[in-house]
Amino acid sequence: MKKYYLITPGPTPVPPTVAAQSALPVLHHRTHEFGKLFEQVMEGLRTVFQTKRDVMLITGSGTGAMESAVANLLSPGDKAIVASCGAFGNRWEKICVAFGAKVVMLKEEWGQAVDPGKVRQALKENPDAKAVFFTHTETSAGTVNDVKAIAAVVAETAAVSVVDAISGLAGQELRMDDWKLDVVVSGSQKGLMTAPGLAFAAVSEKGWKLVESSKNARFYNDYRLIKKSIPNKETPWTPAVSLVASLHEAIRALMEEGMENVWKRHLRLAKACRAGMQALNLKLLSAAPCSVLTSAHLPESVSGEKLVDWLRDEHGVSIAGGQEHLKGKIVRLAHMGYMDHFDLTIGLTALEWGLVKFGHKVDAGKAVKTAQETFLAG
Amino acid sequence: MKKYYLITPGPTPVPPTVAAQSALPVLHHRTHEFGKLFEQVMEGLRTVFQTKRDVMLITGSGTGAMESAVANLLSPGDKAIVASCGAFGNRWEKICVAFGAKVVMLKEEWGQAVDPGKVRQALKENPDAKAVFFTHTETSAGTVNDVKAIAAVVAETAAVSVVDAISGLAGQELRMDDWKLDVVVSGSQKGLMTAPGLAFAAVSEKGWKLVESSKNARFYNDYRLIKKSIPNKETPWTPAVSLVASLHEAIRALMEEGMENVWKRHLRLAKACRAGMQALNLKLLSAAPCSVLTSAHLPESVSGEKLVDWLRDEHGVSIAGGQEHLKGKIVRLAHMGYMDHFDLTIGLTALEWGLVKFGHKVDAGKAVKTAQETFLAG
C-alpha cells in the first residue's frame, strides 16, 4: 500500500467534489447548460482577479497564457522590460525573445524581490518600452513581489504592466483593478484547485489598446476573438469542457469562502511552514517569502535531488526541489489551493524523514511541533 | 427528468471508464507514475496515427494544434496552398494568413471532396509553395478527402502535406507513414473518446526540416521543445494530467479493438445513418460521405436552426445544424468515437421527431427501420 501526497507548486490536489465534475457526461460547449456554467465561471473569475474586466478563458497550460500575453500585446521589434527574480520571471524573457521583442532584463538574485525603484529607473531609461513583465509569486524561490508597487510605477508611464499570477492567484492578495494592473494571466491548477489545462488572461483598457495594435501572429489565443465570444457565453474553439465543469465547482467554493479569507488562510499556513522549516535549522531562501510556497536551503551534505526522489518513490510524497542553479540545494513545500494544515504536517514530517535518511541530524517531530504552535497561535 | 444525448461532431460522449480516470487524484507530471502513463499513451498514439514517428502532445483545443503546425512549419511570407472543401479547410487559410503566409486557395463546394489533380496543378504553378494544408474528414459537410492521393501528389514535390485529422482520426482510415503524410494534427474529443483539451501533432522527417528552419514566433507549442522532452516521458509545460489519464484508458480500449476494426465499426454506422436519412427523403450533402458524420439537406420548409434548438432544449438531444452559408439548411448526425448503433437510433428518432414538429411529413419509424436493416445486413 502506498498513498500519494502532492505537496508541490502545481499541479496541486483537487477537491473530490471538483474532480467529480470532470467525470460527469461531457456537455456540448454550445448549449444553454454549458452557457450557464460558463457565465458563472466568468463572474467568479472576475471576483478572483478582483476586476470588472472580462477574464478570458484559454484551453492550455499557464505557459500558454503567458505566451498569449506577449503575442497579443507586442509587435516584433517592440521593447519590453522583464523584471525577474527567478525561473518563472526568466520565462517571460524567453517568450519575449521568441516573439521578436527587444528585452531589457532586470534580474534579482533568487530569494530577492523585484525592486520597484529599478523598474522605475528602467522605464526612465527606456521610455519606448511597451510593457513590463513580472511575476506575482515566484515559486522557484518562494518570493512574493510587491505587485502593487510595481504596477503603480508602470501606471505612471505609457507602458503596460503584465503579471504572471499563475501560482499566486487565489493564494496571495492580488487586486487587478485597484492596483492598476494591465494584464494578469493565470492557470487552473494552483489556487483555483482544478486540474491543469485551463488558463486565463484579463486585460485593462490601456492593455486593450496594445492588443488592437499588436502585429504579432496569433489566432488560437487571439484575445479579440476570445473577448468577442464572451457575451455569447462561449469560447471561439472547443474548450476543455470537463475542466470548466470542475472549475465551476472550485469557484463556487472560493466564492463561499471569500477572497479575503482565502488569502488569510494561505498566509497562516505559510507562517506555520516557515516556522517549521526554520525549526529544522534550515535557512529560508527568500527575503520576501510568499504565501503559497516556502523554500529553504538544505544542509550542504544533503543532496536535494536524492531527498526529493526518495520521498516521492519510497513514500509517495511529492515535494519540490530546486531548479536551475539551485538544483539539489533547496527544498520547496507548497501550501496552495486545496492544501491544509494537515497536508503541511505531512510535508514537514516527510522533510524531517528525508533529512534523517540523508544524514542530517534533526530533533524528530520538531518541525511539526513548531508549525503546530505557530498555526494555533493564529 | 431530462436525459442528455450528444450526437454532435465533438465534443463526443466519453466512456464512463475513461471519464472516471479524470476524477482520480491528480498525478504530478514529473513522477514515474505519470511517466509510465505518458509512455503508454505515446506508444498507443503511434498506432492510432499509424506512424513510427513521435506524436507530440499539446494541452489545447484542436485549433491550437492546427495553429502549431502553421507556426512550426512556415515563415512569414512563405507560400502555402490550402485545399478546402468546408469550414475546417477554410480555417487553415485563416491561420496561415494570421501567420503572414501567402495563401493559394483551392476551394471546392461543400459536399465535394478536394481534387488531387487540382492540388497537383497548384503545386506545378507554385513550385515555391512550402506546404499543402487540407482536411481528413470535413465535418462541416460530412466529406472525406482522399488523403492518400493528395499526400502522394505532395510527396512528389518539395512541399509538405499537412492534414487536419481532428474529427477523422480513429474513425476513418488514416495511415501517416504508408501514405507519406508529413504532418498530422488531431484532438482528444472525437475518435479518441476523451474530453476536449488535448491535441496532437506528428511530423515526418521532411516536415522536421521545415520545423528547423521556420522563422515564425512560437514558444508554448514549439515542436522542438516538445520533441526533446518525449524521451524524458514528459511535456515541456504542465500538461492536462487528468485528461492524459483519461486518454490512457481510451487508447487502451482502442488498442484492444485494433485500428482496422475501429475504422470498420465507423463505416458500418455511417452506412446505416446514410440509409436512415435517405429513407426520410433527405438528400445527402456530400458526394464523398465520411465515416464519422452524415449530413443531409433539410426540406426548404424546415428551419434547421429551430429544429436543432428544439431537439436540444426540449428533448436534450444535441445534433448539429449547418455552418456559414448552410446555416439552417442542413442537419448533421455524428457517429464518431463512443457512439454506437443505439446512439444512431436516438439521433434518427430525434430527427424524425423534429421534422414532424416543423411540418415535414415522415413515415414514423422509417429512418430507424431502414438504418436497422442496413446495419444488420453488415
Last residue of a domain, one of A207, A226, A257: A257
Min Cα–Cα distance to chain A from B316, Å: 10
CB contact B61 to A (< 8 Å): yes
Which ranges of chain A have pLDDT less than 50?
none
Q: Are residues A20 and A169 in the same domain?
A: yes
Query: For cell 473518446, what's the residue?
Result: B193
CB contact A242 to B (< 8 Å): yes
Q: Indicate the residue of B22, B26, B76 with minimum beta-carbon distance to A11.
A: B26
Q: Which residues of B touch A240 (CB under 8 A)?
A: 61, 195-197, 240, 243
Portion 267-306 of B in contact with A at CB < 8 A: none
Q: Which residues of B touch A67 (CB under 8 A)?
A: 219-220
Helix (H, G, I), strand (E, B) or coil at A12: coil
Which residue does chain A place closest to B68, by CA atoms?
A: A220
CA dihedral A216, A219, A221, A226 (to 10 degrees): 120
Cross-chain Cβ contact A61/B238 below 8 Å: yes
Q: Are residues B190 and B70 in the same domain?
A: yes
Cross-chain Cβ contact A29/B14 below 8 Å: no
Max CA-CA distance within chain B? 61
Cross-chain Cβ contact B94/A216 below 8 Å: no
CB contact B67 to A (< 8 Å): yes
- Tell whether ipTM is more than 0.90: yes
Q: Are residues B328 and B225 in the same domain?
A: no
Residue A193, C-beta contacts closer than 8 angstroms, at least 6 positions apart: A12, A13, A14, A15, A18, A170, A250, A253, A254, A337, A338
Q: Which residues of B touch A318 (CB under 8 A)?
A: 28, 31
In terms of residue numbers, what domain contains B198? 16-257
CB pairs under 8 A between A and B: 196
- pLDDT at position A10 is 85
Last residue of a domain, one of B240, B257, B274: B257
CA atoms within 13 A on the CB side of A373: 9
- pLDDT at position B335 is 98
CATH classification at residue A109: 3.40.640.10
Q: Which three cell numbers stand for residue B344?
A: 444512431
Cross-chain Cβ contact B31/A312 below 8 Å: yes
Asked if residue B1 has pLDDT above 80, the reply is no
Asked if residue B58 has pLDDT above 90, the reply is yes
Q: How far apart are CA B29 and CA B37, in angstroms?
A: 10
The sign of the CA dihedral B213, B217, B219, B222 is negative
Cross-chain Cβ contact B243/A239 below 8 Å: no
Mean pLDDT of B110-121: 98
Whether B59 and B83 have beta carbons less than 8 Å apart is answered as no
- ∠ CA(A17), CA(A19), CA(A23), 5° rounding? 110
Q: Are residues A249 and A306 in the same domain?
A: no
Q: Are residues B184 and B275 in the same domain?
A: no
**Total number of domains in chain A:** 2
Q: Which residues of A touch B29 (CB under 8 A)?
A: 11, 196
Mutate to test the interface with B, among A21, A27, A99, A220 (most CBs of B within 10 A): A220
Distance of CA A251 to the CA centre of its chain: 16
- pLDDT at position B378 is 84
Q: Are residues A202 and A298 in the same domain?
A: no
Min Cα–Cα distance to chain B from A83, Å: 19
Span A228-278, pLDDT tens digits: 999 999 999 999 999 999 999 999 999 999 999 999 999 999 999 999 999
Count CB atoms within 10 A of the CB of residue B170: 26
Q: Are residues A278 and A252 in the same domain?
A: no
Cross-chain Cβ contact A217/B216 below 8 Å: yes
Q: Which residues of B touch A27 (CB under 8 A)?
A: 4, 11
Q: Which three cell numbers stand for residue A281?
A: 535549522
Cross-chain Cβ contact B197/A22 below 8 Å: no
Q: Are residues B215 and B267 in the same domain?
A: no
CATH classification at residue B285: 3.90.1150.10
Q: How far apart are CA A277 and CA B175, in angstroms?
A: 56
CA atoms within 13 A on the CB side of B146: 15
Count CB atoms within 10 A of the CB of residue A127: 10
Helix (H, G, I), strand (E, B) or coil at A245: helix
- pLDDT at position A150 is 98
- pLDDT at position B228 is 98
- pLDDT at position A175 is 98
Q: Are residues B143 and B206 in the same domain?
A: yes
Mean pLDDT of B190-203: 98
Q: Are residues B263 and B211 in the same domain?
A: no
Strand partners, B331: B296, B321
Min Cα–Cα distance to chain B from A378, Å: 30
Q: Which three cell numbers stand for residue B26?
A: 491528480
Asked if residue B131 has pLDDT above 90, the reply is yes
Q: Are residues B245 and B314 in the same domain?
A: no
Q: Are residues B240 and B310 in the same domain?
A: no
Tell me which residue of A369, A249, A185, A242 sits closest to B188, measured CA to CA: A242
Residue B11: asked if its preceding bond is cis (omega within 30°), the reply is: yes
Count CB atoms within 10 A of the CB of residue B325: 9
CB contact A62 to B (< 8 Å): yes
Mutate to test the interface with B, among A63, A95, A185, A219 (most CBs of B within 10 A): A219
Name the pLDDT band for B87 (thresholds 50, 70, 90): very high
Mean pLDDT of B170-180: 98
Last residue of a domain, one of A206, A240, A257: A257
Note the residue count of chain A: 378
